[in-house]
Amino acid sequence: MEIATHAHNPRSDNLDCLVVGVYEQGILSPAATLVDAASDGAIQSFLATGDFAGQCGDTQILYQLPGLATQRVMVLGLGVHGKISDSQFRKAIQGASKALRQAQIAQASFYLLDTPVIRRSPAALGKILVQTVMDSDYQFDHHKEPSEKPQRSLTHLHLNVSGGAEEEAAVKQACAEAQATARAVAWAKDLANEPGNICTPTWLADQAQNMAQRTGIKSTILGPDAMEALGMRLLLGVAQGSRQEPRLIILEYWGGSEEQAPIVFVGKGLTFDAGGISLKPADKMDEMKYDMCGGAAALAAIQSAAELKLPLNIITVVPASENLPDGRATKPGDIHKSMKGLTVEIINTDAEGRLILADALTYVERFEPDVVIDMATLTGACVIALGHQTAAVMGNNEGLVQDLIRAGKESMDRAWELPLYEEYQEQLKSSFADLSNVGGRPAGTITAACFLSRFTENYRWAHLDIAGVAWKSGENKGATGRPVSLLVEYLLHRARQVA
């Protein structure tokens, strides 16, 4: 998709369709006012019919209005003037994107950056607009027969800027960041939406290597022999019930100075999780291909950093495996020794994500990181606590946790802090090992993070539990690409601090 900014008068804009805003109670945006004046009151005449109330996301395309160079004008409902939130603005853009797609329109010019959205600048609105349009255009149909009437994608997206050269420069930069983020989100979705018979640990490692080669990132892939030499018995223990060999994916992007300590992402890469011997119910087990969404997000975030040439040093580590029942699979009650040297009693083999993360979190100590951020579809308890709207964040450094929360607010990929008090560690006590891999039903999201915290004592660390936000079920089932936007926004904030 070609994205451009301009400062056109809508009367002379000749793209396939202009998108202008109308608020409730018939209030016109500045661009809609210009279009109305040029077309002898066509928009006011349309509103006078009472068929369009201006509610958020409502759309109507008007054709061949007099006095205009374009053939189509989309009237987009924005809601109540002066009370529009960023979520409502995104909802409106989603409505416009859907209508453009249905109308098979390839080129559109948006006159919406002057919309008064609470606490959002025109550049911020441009970023929301671009990411929303690109996300709305996403489809995963690789395994379907081609449609006889394929939908026409938007090829040209223009944003009108009315605030002068400085504002236009800010919008252009925001659009570049939005494009890189949207591409990363789409790639994370593609990785996660592939079925488990294709997306194996080896396949995922191959995709990471291909991306690394394309973007100039250093890649290293470790197999079982290397893991055995490192003492990664937790990762190997999870994988031993599968015929698919595990992989440890390591990507290194060195865009900062030599003395700059790296930011490290660790993403859970369970390419399929049947629960092992603690077998999951059959209902919705197909969705367990999404148990590698944390790994996909970690890979996608470093891709964005490379494409944007951020002045940062970033490392992504993804432990990838399957978790299946087999004669060789880990059994409840087994004890494995971690790379750190702590022994773990496996009470529930379906609490496997924290096991593979534990060895990866120990492995990354060698990089002497500035911060380590892990992301994982870790606990169903997180869905109960925060639903499908918000990820959970916990960690051993309050500054890092707050930075991630701020990045989530800015990117609209939100996270909320849960406590990580020392008292919760009591639930992980084991009679036979240094700790148990589960702490019972109470505070399941917190005790899972407590488990990880035992392997992160030597650096600043935060954990994102994305179990509720990484994919959607139902008719529109599919990966969401979260928390890629949050991670990229965090990196952009860090890059601005370096600059």
27 DSSP 8-state letter = P
Question: Helix 293-307 to helix 484-498 angle, to the nearest 10 degrees?
Answer: 40
CB 311 within 8 A of CB 498: yes
207 and 130 together in one domain: no
Q: How far is CA 146 from the centre of its chain?
A: 28
405 within a domain of the structure (yes/no): yes
What is residue 499's predicted lDDT score, i.e. its pLDDT? 72
CA 463, 456, 437, 285 dihedral sign is: positive
Omega prior to 262 cis, within 30 of 0: no
215 and 158 together in one domain: no
145 within a domain of the structure (yes/no): no
Rg (CA), the chain: 25
172 within a domain of the structure (yes/no): no
Catalytic pick among 354, 414, 454, 482: 354
134 and 190 together in one domain: no
Cα–Cα distance for residue pair 79/58, rounded to 1 Å? 9
Cα–Cα distance for residue pair 80/31, rounded to 1 Å? 17
446 DSSP 8-state letter = H
What is residue 185's predicted lDDT score, i.e. its pLDDT? 98
354 is catalytic: yes
What is residue 145's predicted lDDT score, i.e. its pLDDT? 87
**Residues contacting residue 426 through CB under 8 Å, at least 6 positions apart:** none
What is residue 441's predicted lDDT score, i.e. its pLDDT? 95
94 and 191 together in one domain: no
203 and 158 together in one domain: no
Cα–Cα distance for residue pair 368/458, rounded to 1 Å? 9
Which tokens sit at 83? 């009370």
119 and 204 together in one domain: no
Total structural domains in the chain?
Answer: 2
25: region left, alpha or beta (phi > 0 left; psi from -120 to 50 alpha):
left
Cα–Cα distance for residue pair 215/260, rounded to 1 Å? 21
57 within a domain of the structure (yes/no): yes
262 DSSP 8-state letter = P
341 and 205 together in one domain: yes
Q: How many residues does the chain have?
A: 499
Cα–Cα distance for residue pair 32/38, rounded to 1 Å? 10
pTM assigned to the model = 0.97
**At 347, which CATH number?**
3.40.630.10
173 within a domain of the structure (yes/no): no
CB-based burial label for 135 (10 Å; 0-12, 13-18, 19+): buried
Cα–Cα distance for residue pair 334/349, rounded to 1 Å? 9
Q: Judging by DSSP bridges, how do beta strands 218-222 and 17-22 pair with one another?
A: unpaired
9 and 114 together in one domain: yes
| Separate counts of helices (H) and strands (E) for the chain | 14, 20
201 and 267 together in one domain: yes
CA 51, 53, 55, 61 dihedral sign is: positive
- Digits of tens for pLDDT over the chain (499 positions)? 899 998 889 999 999 999 999 999 999 999 999 999 999 999 999 999 999 999 999 999 999 999 999 999 999 999 999 999 999 999 999 999 999 999 999 999 999 999 999 999 999 999 999 999 999 999 999 899 887 776 777 999 999 998 889 999 999 999 999 999 999 999 999 999 999 999 999 999 999 999 999 999 999 999 999 999 999 999 999 999 999 999 999 999 999 999 999 999 999 999 999 999 999 999 999 999 999 999 999 999 999 999 999 999 999 999 999 999 999 999 999 999 999 999 999 999 999 999 999 999 999 999 999 999 999 999 999 999 999 999 999 999 999 999 999 999 999 999 999 999 999 999 999 999 999 999 999 999 999 999 999 999 999 999 999 999 999 999 899 999 999 999 999 999 999 999 7
CB 9 within 8 A of CB 163: no
381 and 426 together in one domain: yes
What is residue 167's predicted lDDT score, i.e. its pLDDT? 95
Domain containing 70 equals: 2-138+153-162
Q: State the CB neighbour count (10 A cutoff) for residue 145.
A: 6
**At 87, which CATH number?**
3.40.220.10
Q: What is the largest CA-CA distance in the chain?
A: 83
116 within a domain of the structure (yes/no): yes
289 DSSP 8-state letter = G
For tokens 């990471």, the residue is: 208
Catalytic pick among 11, 280, 337, 409: 280
124 and 233 together in one domain: no
Cα–Cα distance for residue pair 55/170, rounded to 1 Å? 29
117 and 209 together in one domain: no
493 within a domain of the structure (yes/no): yes
108 within a domain of the structure (yes/no): yes
Comparing CA positions, the residue from 345, 351, 369, 357 lying closest to residue 455 is: 357
